[in-house]
């Protein structure tokens, strides 16, 4: 297997980004810097990136994690902020499928399968994500139609969201939104443009996987049935 593909399938980066990492002398093979993305990785080779040995996992593993507020979605933070990896204690190297921003809670999937992760994150595959929000006012019918069409969210980008349901309880409105693209802070940017005050934001579903009753800060392995459902998307 080519070195760039090896890194990509191990979840380090995309194939193109892996090319750059290799060419920039950030990868060693058997203790020697390797700058050729086409290097053929052999079964006995020891590949290191960022001082960590990279092993290609043959058995796919995905966990569902209930992310608390105040943690960032990254493997390592140069500013020493709290990361989701700090709460996931496993000997296996797992990396996030997509991101949740620091102030957002809820379902985050992590895996050892880079190819599957790229598939689930790629915009062209239109994988639905459902978010539960608390806001100050209900959406009117014309606003619901506008969000389902497109909303300008700044930085030359447009956002889209389907209102699944909304219910007013004790002066606040609980809304479920369905999105398909996952642009950076897309939900927050849509809510801002729709002139609503956002009190809380939680992701409750990614594709066919639901958050369910996983306690905050805890995680569980997906079942074989759930793994098959993600692979079929």
> Got the DSSP string for 20-39?
HHHHTT-EEETTEE---TT-
Domains and CATH numbers, the chain: 3-54 (3.10.290.10), 62-123+209-231 (3.30.70.580), 128-206 (3.30.2350.10)
Q: CB burial class (10 A; 0-12, 13-18, 19+) of residue 170?
A: exposed
Q: Which helix (H) or strand (E) holds 16?
A: helix 15-23
Tokens of 232: 């079929």
Neighbours of 33 (CB within 10 A): 10
Catalytic residue among 19, 45, 91, 101: 101
Angle formed at CA 94 by CA 89 and CA 97, multiple of 5 degrees: 125
Q: Pick from 71, 80, 111: which is nearest to 227 by CA?
A: 111
CA torsion through residues 185, 217, 126, 178, sign: negative
pLDDT of the residue at 60? 84
pLDDT of the residue at 139? 98
Q: Which helix (H) or strand (E) holds 142?
A: helix 141-149
pLDDT of the residue at 173? 98
What value does the CA radius of gyration of the chain take, rounded to a whole number of Å?
20
pLDDT of the residue at 56? 65
Residue 53 exposure: Cα atoms within 13 Å on the Cβ side: 9
Residue pair 95/48 in contact (Cβ under 8 Å)? The answer is: no
Q: pLDDT 10s per residue in the chain (233 long)?
A: 889 888 887 778 878 888 999 999 899 999 999 999 999 988 788 999 988 888 766 678 899 999 999 999 988 888 889 999 999 988 778 889 999 999 999 999 999 888 888 889 888 899 999 999 999 999 999 999 999 999 999 999 999 999 999 999 888 999 999 999 888 999 999 999 999 999 999 999 999 999 999 999 999 999 999 998 888 87
Question: Is 19 an annotated catalytic residue?
Answer: no
Tokens of 17: 């980004």
CA distance 136 to 168: 9
pTM of the model: 0.78
pLDDT of the residue at 50? 84
């Amino acid at each position: 297997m080519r070195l760039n593909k090896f890194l990509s399938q191990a979840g380090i980066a995309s194939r193109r980004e892996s090319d750059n990492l290799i060419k920039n002398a950030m990868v060693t093979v058997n203790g020697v810097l390797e700058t050729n993305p086409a290097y053929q990785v052999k079964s006995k080779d020891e590949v290191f990136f960022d001082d960590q040995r990279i092993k290609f996992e043959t058995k796919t593993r995905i966990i569902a994690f209930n992310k608390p507020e105040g943690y960032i979605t990254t493997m390592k933070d140069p500013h020493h902020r709290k990361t989701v990896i700090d709460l996931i204690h496993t000997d296996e190297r797992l990396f996030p499928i997509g991101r949740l921003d620091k102030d957002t809670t809820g379902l985050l999937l992590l895996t050892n399968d880079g190819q599957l992760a790229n598939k689930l994150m790629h915009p062209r595959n239109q994988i639905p994500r459902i978010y539960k929000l608390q806001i100050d006012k209900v959406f009117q019918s014309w606003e619901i139609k506008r969000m389902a069409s497109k909303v300008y969210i700044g930085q030359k980008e447009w956002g889209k969201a389907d209102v699944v349901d909304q219910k007013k309880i004790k002066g606040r409105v609980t809304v479920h939104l369905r999105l398909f693209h996952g642009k950076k802070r897309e939900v927050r940017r849509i809510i801002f443009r729709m002139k609503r005050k956002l009190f809380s934001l939680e992701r409750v579903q990614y594709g066919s996987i639901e958050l369910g009753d996983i306690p905050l800060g805890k995680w569980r392995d997906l079942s074989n049935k759930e793994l098959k459902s993600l692979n079929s998307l």
